[in-house]
């Protein structure tokens, strides 16, 4: 999967940004920091406008990020993908044929090694690497895991976007509106 060639995945944090995206020709979006009461309507409107939503399960306010909430999201809300740091959430997404994206924070070597162990155990379909502004690590993680990489966080300009994509990232996630148009 390559997001139909879309290289920039807008990371939406506000309903105002969501409304802007609904009017755009962008197909894939990432929903961050939504309230549990909004999730069902967000999905309804997104699908009505032919948008595919990658929902960050860990950032849904009012919903615990465990396998039961993931089951609810997969069966009732029906996102196109779930992003999480939690193995149980990602396994549940896999079980329900929802695209699973493991968020991997590059804090230090221990965090990276722990992430590799979780990747082997869970077998997500994608890895989202944060911060995404480290092309040499994107390349290394892609080679070591064999999984496609999404880069997110601290990517601030078109040169950094190009650098990360050249290092092997399939796409980047960003809340910077000026990068959505690239």
Rounded CA-CA distance 142/154 in Å is 19
Q: How far is CA 142 from the centre of its chain?
A: 16
Rounded CA-CA distance 85/56 in Å is 9
* Residue 35, strand partner residues: 61
Spatial neighbors of 4 by CB under 8 A, at least 6 apart, are 27, 28
The per-residue pLDDT string of the chain (182 residues; one tens digit each, 9 = 90 and over) reads: 789 999 999 999 999 999 999 999 999 999 999 999 999 999 999 999 999 999 999 999 999 999 999 999 999 999 999 999 999 999 999 999 999 999 999 999 999 999 999 999 999 999 999 999 999 999 999 999 999 999 999 999 999 999 999 999 999 999 999 999 88
Spatial neighbors of 125 by CB under 8 A, at least 6 apart, are 1, 94, 99, 100, 101, 147, 148
Domains and CATH numbers, the chain: 3-180 (3.20.20.70)
Task: Provide the 3-class DSSP secondary structure of residue 49.
Answer: coil
């Amino acid at each position: 999967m390559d997001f139909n060639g879309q290289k920039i995945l807008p990371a939406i944090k506000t309903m105002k940004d969501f409304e802007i995206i609904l009017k755009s020709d962008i197909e894939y979006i990432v929903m961050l920091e939504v309230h549990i009461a909004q999730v069902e309507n967000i999905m309804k409107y997104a699908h009505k406008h032919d948008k595919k939503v990658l929902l960050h399960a860990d950032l849904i306010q009012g919903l615990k990020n465990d396998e039961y909430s993931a089951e609810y999201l997969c069966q009732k809300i029906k996102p196109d993908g779930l992003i999480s740091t939690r193995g149980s959430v990602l396994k549940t997404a896999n079980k329900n044929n929802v695209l699973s994206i493991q968020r991997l924070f590059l804090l230090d070597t221990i965090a990276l090694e722990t992430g590799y162990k979780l990747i082997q155990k869970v077998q997500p379909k994608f890895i989202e690497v944060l911060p995404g502004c480290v092309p040499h690590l994107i390349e290394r993680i892609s080679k070591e895991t064999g999984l496609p990489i999404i880069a997110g966080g601290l990517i601030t300009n078109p040169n950094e976007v190009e650098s990360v994509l050249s290092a092997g990232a399939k796409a980047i996630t960003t809340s910077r509106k000026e990068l959505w148009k690239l």
